[in-house]
Amino acid sequence: MRPAQAGYLQCVSGTIALTFDDGPNPTWTPRILGALERRGAHATFFVQARRALEHRELIEATLAAGNEVGFHCLDHVRHSQRGWEGVVSDLEIGLEMLDRLGVRPAAWRAPWGIETEVTRMVAAERGLRLWGWNVDTHDWRGDPARRMFGALEAQGGLRGGDVILMHDALGPGALRDGCGETVALTELLLARAGMDDLSPAPVSACEGVLA
Ligand SMILES: [Zn+2]
């Protein structure tokens, strides 16, 4: 389960970053937001731009609660399957859509977490920080929250610096028909973080350091 990516950015000690990709979704994003709010916690949502435009109210609610909106993609295509122009146009059109919502992301997670040399050059040009993860919950598979949480505990539990991958909407390849188990897992993780004195924060507030 960890580390998933060599050289990934992690949070500073004492913080963890819960990250949610592929949303927003009108059913599941509000439930994740509710779970965060009940614990006074904040997270990062790496959004798909068209979904963000379709659900402007969810982006507003996400930001109003003190969370971060990062950029995920316009089209969910691996950068390894795209050339320079494909990566640039996906980013530019996607960022322009978010700009219409008043969102100017500082953080970017590429589709499938696949970064190429082009991704890194374009990110540097635009001043975007690329974020992968070191804890993959595999929540897209639809496993019960308790099983996902147990797998993490078996790996030593939460640790300061962890960047945790989850999804608040269905993306390509999802083997489930909803994100209810992700909501439940979020609640378990937040309870655990509270016990371990770890502070869940948005990635851009975590002062990412290279692992
Ligand atoms: Zn995704």
Please write the tens of the pLDDT for every residue from 15-29. 999 999 999 999 999
pLDDT in tens, 113-125: 999 999 999 999 9
Cα of 141 vs centre of ligand 1, distance in Å, is: 13
Structure tokens at 36: 């965060």
3-state secondary structure 144-185: CHHHHHHHHHHCCCCCCCCEEEEECCCCCCCCCCCCHHHHHH
Cα of 209 vs centre of ligand 1, distance in Å, is: 23
Q: Which residues are catalytic?
A: 21, 167
- Residue 71, classified by CB atoms within 10 Å of its CB into exposed (0-12), middle (13-18) or buried (19+), is buried
Q: How confident is the model at residue 46 (pLDDT cuts 50, 70, 90)?
A: very high
pLDDT tops 50 at residue 7: yes
Secondary structure (3-state) at 78:
coil
Spatial contact of 60 and 95, defined as CB atoms under 8 Å apart: no
- Cis omega (within 30 of 0) on the bond before 172? no
Cα of 146 vs centre of ligand 1, distance in Å, is: 23
Cα of 76 vs centre of ligand 1, distance in Å, is: 6
Cα of 22 vs centre of ligand 1, distance in Å, is: 5
Mean of the per-residue pLDDT values of the chain: 93
Q: Among the listed ranges 46-55, 92-101, 154-163, which one has the minimum average pLDDT value? A: 154-163
Residue 11 is predicted with a pLDDT of 77
Cα of 110 vs centre of ligand 1, distance in Å, is: 8
pLDDT tops 80 at residue 77: yes
pLDDT in tens, 180-194: 999 999 999 999 999
**Selection from 46, 87, 35, 33 nearest residue 171 by Cα:** 46
**Selection from 108, 46, 55, 111 nearest residue 78 by Cα:** 111
**Mean pLDDT within 7-13:** 74
**Degrees (nearest 5) of the Cα angle 118, 138, 149?**
135
Parallel/antiparallel/unpaired status of strands 209-210 and 9-10: antiparallel
Question: Amino acid identity of 116?
Answer: T
Q: What is the model's pTM?
A: 0.94
